[in-house]
Structure 1
Amino acid sequence: MKSAYVFGPIHLFGQDYLPVYKKLMALCEKYFDKVLGTYPDFWKTKEKPKEFYERTLKTITKCDLFIGEVSSPSHGVGMEFQMAYEKKIPVIAIAKEGISVSIMILGIPNVKKVIYYRSISDLLKKLEKELIIFGKKQ
């Protein structure tokens, strides 16, 4: 069973990015048996910090692909990228056009693609192209 994890900042962008996460998840559901993500799986947790960390780590270690929103710095997202690196899980980073993505993110060997987008529709079009390519490699 193939799975994907769509993630990005929870607290930095708040509700502004909720529509993005929902649409990314819907697109990924066309190509993966299981899709987890910032929304709804990690959005409004009542877990203690250690429980949240452990669940995030467990989720990451079971996925086949990560898609991470990196338009704005986030400690949590950076940690998730590192977790993916340690497990050699391929990552697609996404960022708004004009954003300078962290050099640390760009340097992670398992970041297979950085997609810069103008709008949600632009992002979905570009991401779908990459998901098709990813599927052919598996």
Structure 2
Amino acid sequence: MVNRCCDRPALSPLARLAQRGVPHGNRGHDDAYDHTRLSRCATCGSGVVESHSHDCWDPSDHSSWDMYWWWRIDPADMDVVLELVGDCPAPLKPGCDCRLHRGLGASTPPAGALSRETPYEKAPVPAAKVRIDDGIPGWA
């Protein structure tokens, strides 16, 4: 698997920013499932944003079912993220109505990340930054 942040990643989930649908293989799954998650590496202090999109509408073509995108947040930019996560009453609930989820869960970081069909493909991981406009966080 490609390293998303450093040579010895130790990622821990910080927040589930967004989720749509039911994961494949679970009861109630109906073709599509998407999520955006935010993790922090205990080794290097970086953050990792993962966006996954699953759509199994075409059962004959498994290669197109899953797409993944990743972005890295530098340790210096994680202070803002950690403050937002600390203010959130339910960071692992994508339906939360706090500033973290309303802001960062409403979109993914800017284009630049190449989509991947599997999480194991090697590719550069672009950086993402968090900005605050009128009290609401967004991707920069």
Q: Does the alignment reach a TM-score above 0.5?
A: no
Greater strand content: 2
TM-score category, normalised to shorter length: under 0.3
Q: Which has the higher Rg, Structure 1 or Structure 2?
A: 2
User: Given the two structures, how large is their TM-score scaled by the length of structure 2?
Assistant: 0.26
